Structure 1
Amino acid sequence: MNNLDYKDFEKNDIHVLKQAQFIASMNVTFYLIISLAKIIIGNVAKSTALKADGYNGATDTLAYLIIIMGIAFAKRPKNQEHRFGYAKAETISTLITSILIIETSFWVIWKGTINWISNSSTRPDSLAAIVGISCGIMTFIVFLLNKYFAQKIHSKPLLTSSNDQKWDGITAILTGLAIVLSDLGFPWLDKLTAIVIGLLMLRTGLFILNSSAFKLIDGFSNESLSQVKLELAKFPQVERIVKINGREYENDIYISAIVKVDSGLTVSDTMRLTKTIQNYLQRRCGIFELDIQYVA
């Protein structure tokens, strides 16, 4: 990261939000198409597993729509009532997404279990396997693209969603292979696969829920805070770090610190020191805003 002024840093962040919003919009279109294909073909080919995978994709479509709305809200400028801006809207959108995934996973598990109990001997058509494997390969390619762009623009909601896409791709391919085996004489495997898909959705939803809730209650990892402390302690003027706290608003990290300095430092000296520390921590740790107080 270059040595940016705080206004430039904030403009850069808005640019990142716009890019993230565009990428999320493209993902909505992709997931909508393949989800409809899986659900329709799943019904035609009588495959419980492919329909379950389709509902999983439909959930992702809604998830991306929620993320888009969260990103759009997060772009609103700071005001008197929201001095830290609206960045937490992204976290809230991710939290809502996790609840949606968990709810759908319970429904998929329930439907798969009911079909399992019914002990139906109906075998899915091979068309379902072709669609499942093809969609899985396409999803995995989209995952690689999303991961690349998410890392490039440092968008954590997109990175979280791209990790979910990886499993979506793998799940779709395994679903196709399970349908092939079902068609060869193991019809129960199609129902079992639907249940497994539901369990994977539940696992993903709970992971995202835990991560989002941690951020919403201003959780901040000890590892990240320790890194900031180490970087701050490198300045010779800083004799001791009395207190330091951190919180994260998706891509934005806010640090507040109280540090002990030599009593001989003037006000001008501390102002220059603050500016130097701010620019340094921006480059090294991606700190968006630093509130630092000095005590002698």
Structure 2
Amino acid sequence: MNHSDNLKIGEKGAWLSIGTYIILAFVKLIVAEIGDSEALRADGLNNTTDVVASIAVLVGMKISRKPPDEDHHYGHYRAETVASLFAAFIMMFIGLQVIFNTIQQVIAHESVKPDLLTAWVAIGSALIMFLVYFYNVRLAKKVQSDALYAAAQDNRSDALVSIGAFIGIMGAQFGLFWLDPLAGLMVGVIICKTAWDIFKDATHTLTDGFDEKQLEQIQASIFKVPEVKKVVDVKGRIHGNQAFIEITILVDPKLNVQESHDITVRIENYLARKHNITYAHIHIEPYDV
């Protein structure tokens, strides 16, 4: 199964997130209005913004499936990474909003006792989002999708937001109004930390960053080919979840074109089996003793 087919399967996770967010946002906003819960109302508004982030991930995955064209000879795989970056911005905005709202709540000394129904809706929402998270994170690893993995992290963050809302609402039932802002602050920090990690990975990929340890492993694998006298250079960059590797090796200058070509084929096949690298550009130069 190729990368394009994997992305098509991965779109199921994005659709699941969109559908779940729409339903939960609708339920939370209605129950929050009935039960007079600011925490649940904020959680519902949070889910409405998540719909936008999930749509961005879905669009990014669809664009990534497009084949190479005249303007994109390497395909459109980086659209998936851009979608991850957009999801990170949405998550950071949500996290800062949660922190800001918490600080406002502390300054205003709000002490509202919401209806207990809002607490059950919050904890039920958290359980649903954790189920969506586990589904999407497994699917993301299966199809090797950064964008879907970022969406899964967003699912987990939303589950934590709902847990924070539940703690705050339950605290208000017993007069512990300080639990609400404390839980909100902790959740906001967790969301911002998750967003930063996704942002850091996405920007590293978009700026052609590559894991040095993986390059060392690739170089060690190339040395196992007997005809390779020396590995001059190994470079790598990531397009979506595909590694593009450029290699320069030295071989016996007496080899003919066919023999040299056969060496590159063996290296390409070995890298595909050992490191799951589907594209390797190998440049051969003569080895001078």
Q: Same fold (TM over 0.5)?
A: yes
One-letter code aligned to 2:100: W
Structure 2: stretches of 5+ with no match in the other structure: none
Kept in 2: contact 1:47–1:190 (CA 8 A):
no
Residue in structure 2 matching 1:62, options 25, 42, 52: 52
Q: Are positions 1:180 and 2:170 aligned together?
A: yes
* Offset at residue 109 of structure 1 (A): 2.1
Query: What's the TM-score, normalizing by structure 1?
Result: 0.89
Give the 3-state SS of the residue equivalent to 2:229 in structure 1: strand
Give the 3-state SS of the residue equivalent to 1:238 in structure 2: coil
Residue in structure 2 matching 1:260, options 214, 226, 250: 250
Moved more, 85-94 or 171-180: 171-180
**Aligned partners of 2:109 and 2:230: how far apart in 1?**
70
**Aligned partners of 1:55 and 1:174: how far apart in 2?**
15
Residue in structure 1 matching 2:135, options 145, 149, 153: 145
Q: Are positions 1:163 and 2:161 aligned together?
A: no
Kept in 2: contact 1:49–1:191 (CA 8 A):
no
One-letter code aligned to 1:287: I
Which position in structure 2 is the counterpart of 1:193? 183
Kept in 2: contact 1:47–1:124 (CA 8 A):
yes
Kept in 1: contact 2:248–2:283 (CA 8 A):
yes
**Aligned partners of 1:60 and 1:231: how far apart in 2?**
43
One-letter code aligned to 2:86: I
One-letter code aligned to 1:276: R
**Aligned partners of 1:288 and 1:37: how far apart in 2?**
45
CA 193–53 in structure 1, closer or farther in 2 if over 3 Å, else same:
farther
* Offset at residue 153 of structure 1 (A): 1.7
Moved more, 198-207 or 39-48: 39-48
Give CA-to-partner distance per residue, 1:139-176, whole Å, 9 cap, x none.
Answer: 11222222222222222221232233234334423432
Kept in 2: contact 1:137–1:173 (CA 8 A):
no
Kept in 1: contact 2:82–2:202 (CA 8 A):
yes
Give CA-to-partner distance per residue, 1:91-142, whole Å, 9 cap, x none.
Answer: 1111112112222322332222212211122112211110111111111122
Residue in structure 1 matching 2:123, options 126, 130, 133: 133
One-letter code aligned to 1:117: I
Which position in structure 2 is the counterpart of 1:113? 103
Which position in structure 1 is the counterpart of 2:24? 34
**Aligned partners of 1:138 and 1:222: how far apart in 2?**
39
Give the 3-state SS of the residue equivalent to 2:280 in structure 1: strand
Query: What's the TM-score, normalizing by structure 2?
Result: 0.91
| Percentage of identical aligned residues | 28
Kept in 1: contact 2:18–2:51 (CA 8 A):
yes
Which position in structure 1 is the counterpart of 2:260? 270
Matching of residues 63-78 of structure 1 within 5 Å: 63-78=53-68
**Aligned partners of 1:146 and 1:264: how far apart in 2?**
53
One-letter code aligned to 2:259: D
CA 224–56 in structure 1, closer or farther in 2 if over 3 Å, else same:
farther
**Aligned partners of 2:194 and 2:41: how far apart in 1?**
19
Kept in 2: contact 1:53–1:194 (CA 8 A):
no
**Aligned partners of 1:276 and 1:61: how far apart in 2?**
46
Give the 3-state SS of the residue equivalent to 2:23 in structure 1: helix
Which position in structure 2 is the counterpart of 1:6? none
**Aligned partners of 1:141 and 1:100: how far apart in 2?**
21
Give CA-to-partner distance per residue, 1:73-101, whole Å, 9 cap, x none.
Answer: 11221123211111111111111121122
Moved more, 82-91 or 93-102: 93-102
**Aligned partners of 1:26 and 1:113: how far apart in 2?**
33
Give the 3-state SS of the residue equivalent to 1:294 in structure 2: strand
CA 131–192 in structure 1, closer or farther in 2 if over 3 Å, else same:
same
Give the 3-state SS of the residue equivalent to 1:84 in structure 2: coil
CA 256–179 in structure 1, closer or farther in 2 if over 3 Å, else same:
same
Kept in 2: contact 1:56–1:201 (CA 8 A):
no
Kept in 1: contact 2:168–2:181 (CA 8 A):
no
One-letter code aligned to 2:184: A
Structure 1: stretches of 5+ with no match in the other structure: 1-8
* Offset at residue 60 of structure 1 (A): 2.6
**Aligned partners of 2:71 and 2:51: how far apart in 1?**
33
One-letter code aligned to 2:230: R
One-letter code aligned to 2:180: D
**Which runs of at least 4 in structure 1 moved beyond 4 Å after TM superposition?**
none
CA 208–56 in structure 1, closer or farther in 2 if over 3 Å, else same:
farther
